A and B are shown apart, each in its own frame.
Chain A
């Protein structure tokens, strides 16, 4: 004890100093505006609670860690689970093989239902077949619109990325855009490519694609700046995720460009940006709704035998547009992180 104490205290000293400094600043340096204090206490949506026996549902997505979009899907699923007396098991892996293993894991757990995304349908085929053999109902959400019936899924909740892209292109035509650049934050992602292709299909002007490194925001910013400088005739930047839209708006300033920004997907900062006019509009596929409906559908199926779309038609959750005309209404929900 004695032998070790001097060196230990020497090592502890800086830590203690830091803690003390922190405590002092905590005491004396409160911010007079912004921050948590300014955030209004938000309540989650609640629609009573079912008294049916508890069931377990697995939601398995291809979420990459830390993506705000999937967080909203999960919140929707959790809200439905809380209402339906469901134990929700959430798991995700962007690698298709790993995602298939997670579905297998859910089968092994003998869950009462599985909700799954089909970003890479071929990789999921076998394991979904196994779930059906074990008598577990499987519903699809978000991606896989063209494959869910082939794989024998019960129903599907999502947005057709191509349809959303086409609607986006139409909307751009009404804003008078002539030349756009579609910014893809992950090279090789099928859904993102479908969006840009959809936009190009209906957009009447010229469209280009730009790839950026989505895990490095300074790089996203400078790459968009470079593109705007290279081609000053670009009048609209189209991004495929909310954080990238906000960064694109900064890149416009850097490049001294008068272009506009329009985007897919929402978050609460983006809602503010639509309100103050720095972002033109956002197309919303309502991820909360996707998560909520998928889980709720499994409950309805188990306790009432219902399935939406009769097993033939998908249930579309988007595209819904958010612009100046309706942003205030959406904003109050987005502030809770559920839109």
Chain B
């Protein structure tokens, strides 16, 4: 694990204003090794290996439209994997992120439908609810000092139960009603769930959002004070606090960022499928976390990147769809998925270990 520490900027050191970081960690290394030591390079190579593998074994993957399908699946995981990764770099963990997506979609759908409102009202209230869930998680973690694992496990169960119970109470069914004929739906669908054509290939809008969010997260992490705070609170909370990092603000805002991601993906689900089943979302949190971990974020916090989880999510989407494109015996589906992911993670680990040796 220690090799991953290489990627960590100035742990516990205040970002001295005006001076570029000169921590000496890369000064004596050749460029290739320096690159390899970045947390995202291992996963990049792993993803590339998986891509090449499926390009060879599954002819269908070679079409542009197949790549669009893979990117679509990757994007809905990837949009959530980004804030989940930032949260993990910040040393915390969110088990409620999978069902929070559905909570958000349910809120927007039921509010709009039951009160017969323009769906944008539901969308905005759902954002407030999602941010509030994130705030609640973060506030409780900071206030109690309990592991975020416990707190968010509690939230996970609360949301899972509330999704079901509230939906049943309000709609009389366990799924929401179709809102596709309501005012504002088409606009919202354009923003969250439309698609466009590039060179004859239909690409889903979520792919664009995914890349935009990834670029934004990378910039924040590497170029802003807030980015440094994230690394600092994840590395060592006490020393971060000692040098004036607003630990409480950073942690709560990271949980709220996960809330934002859940809202965004929830809106995508709602506007692309028109209705939401209240039991969905369970288990997705582990996939988001897996994408972040494959992407080089440490489970212990303090290290990682925003671009790594992009490749992590891509790898997940690639393996998931590649198995189908290859037409393999579906009984082995999950086993294949597990083997491919483990393989990719091991490549990732090996690359980092090789790069940081000597």
Q: Is the CB of A30 within 8 A of B118?
A: yes
Contact of A66 among B73, B132, B278, B325 (CB under 8 A): B278
For chain B, give the interface size range.
Answer: 35 or more
Q: With an 8 A cutoff between CB atoms, is A225 at the interface?
A: yes
Q: In the bound complex, what is the Cα–Cα distance between A264 and B63 (angstroms)?
A: 32
A211 touches B (CB below 8 Å)? yes
State A210–B160 Cα separation when bound (angstroms).
Answer: 27
Chain A residues contacting B268 (CB-CB under 8 Å) are: 218
Contact between chains at A225 and B69 (CB < 8 Å): yes
The answer, yes or no, to whether B120 is at the interface (CB within 8 Å) is yes
Question: B60 on the interface (CB 8 Å rule)?
Answer: yes
Interface positions, chain A 34-93, Cβ under 8 Å from B, are 34-39, 64-68, 70-71
When distances are taken between beta carbons in the complex, the residues of chain A under 8 Å from B338 are none
| B51 is an interface residue with CB less than 8 A from chain A | no
A243 at the interface (CB under 8 A from B): yes
How close is B267's CB to chain A, nearest CB, in angstroms?
12
Instruction: Name the one of B72, B117, B287 contacting A31, with C-beta atoms under 8 angstroms.
Output: B117
Is B344 an interface residue when CB atoms closer than 8 A count as contact? no
Instruction: Please pick, from B164, B273, B321, the residue contacting A65 in the complex, using a CB distance under 8 A.
Output: B164
Q: Is the CB of A337 within 8 A of B173?
A: yes
Return the contact of A215 from the options B173, B183, B274, B280 (Cβ within 8 A). Answer: B280
CA A314 to CA B350, docked complex, whole Å: 60
**Complex Cα spacing A108 to B243, Å:** 60
Rounded to whole angstroms, the CA-CA distance of A121 and B333 in the bound complex is 27
Could you tell me the distance between the alpha carbons of A269 and B160 in the complex, rounded to whole angstroms? Answer: 24
A247 to B183, CA, bound (A): 23
Q: How many A-B residue pairs have CB under 8 A?
A: 185
Whether A227 pairs with B324 at a CB distance below 8 angstroms is yes
List the B side residues contacting A29 at CB < 8 Å.
117-118, 120-121, 183-184
Given A66-B163, A66-B277, A230:B60 Cβ within 8 A:
yes
- Tell me if B281 and A215 are in contact (CB < 8 A): yes
A247 to B273, CA, bound (A): 7
Q: Is A267 an interface residue (CB 8 A)?
A: yes
Cβ contact of A39, chosen from B177, B278, B320, cutoff 8 A: B177
Q: Knowing A18-B128, A29-B120, A210-B330 are in contact, say whether A243-B277 is a contact too (CB < 8 A).
A: yes
Interface residues on chain A, number (Cβ under 8 Å):
55
Whole-angstrom distance between the Cβ of A338 and the nearest chain B Cβ: 10
**B324, A215: Cβ atoms closer than 8 Å:** no
| B76 at interface, CB cutoff 8 A | yes
With a CB–CB cut-off of 8 A, which chain B residues contact A65? 160-161, 164, 278-279, 282
Q: Are A25 and B118 touching (Cβ within 8 A)?
A: yes
- Taking a contact as CB atoms under 8 Å apart, the answer to whether A35 and B117 are in contact is yes
Contacts of B181 in A (CB 8 A): 33-34, 38
Taking A29-B117, A30-B117 as contacts, is the C-beta distance between A219 and B73 under 8 angstroms? yes
Complex-state Cα separation, A222 to B202, whole angstroms: 13
A72 vs B102: C-alpha distance when bound (angstroms) = 21
Neighbour of A269 across the interface among B65, B275, B279, B284, CB < 8 A = B275
In whole angstroms, what is the CA distance A21 to B122 when docked? 12
* Residue numbers in B under 8 Å from A222 (CB-CB): 69-70, 72-73, 317, 321
Most buried by B among A33, A217, A223, A267: A217
Q: Which residues of B contact A132 (CB under 8 A)?
A: none
B228 at the interface (CB under 8 A from A): no
Q: Which of B168-201 contact A (CB under 8 A)?
A: 168, 172-175, 177-185
Contact pick for A226, options B69, B76, B161, CB 8 Å: B69
CA distance A33 to B116 in the complex (A): 8
| Nearest-Cβ distance from residue B171 to partner chain A, whole angstroms | 8
Known contacts A22-B125, A25-B118, A35-B117; A66 and B164 CB within 8 A of each other: yes
Interface flag for B119 (CB, 8 Å): yes
Interface residue? B13 (CB, 8 A): no
Pair B73/A218 contact, Cβ less than 8 Å: yes
Contact pick for B66, options A32, A34, A229, CB 8 Å: A229
CB distance from A269 to the nearest CB of B (A): 5
**Interface presence of A26 (CB below 8 A):** yes
Per-residue CB contact flags for chain B residues 328-358 toward chain A (1 = under 8 Å, else 0) read: 0011011000000000000000000000000
Q: Are A216 and B280 in contact (CB under 8 A)?
A: yes
How distant is the Cα of A255 from the Cα of B202 in the complex, in angstroms? 9
Q: Mark A208-248, 1 if CB is under 8 A from B, else 0.
A: 11110101111101110111011100000000000100110
| Chain B residues within 8 Å of A, Cβ to Cβ | 58, 60, 63, 65-66, 69-70, 72-73, 76, 98, 112-121, 124-125, 128, 132, 160-161, 163-164, 167-168, 172-175, 177-185, 202, 268-269, 272-275, 277-284, 287, 317, 320-321, 324-327, 330-331, 333-334
21 contacts between A and B (CB under 8 A): A22-B121, A22-B128, A25-B124, A26-B117, A30-B117, A34-B182, A35-B115, A35-B116, A35-B182, A36-B114, A64-B279, A65-B279, A66-B277, A208-B330, A216-B284, A217-B269, A217-B280, A218-B72, A218-B76, A219-B73, A337-B173
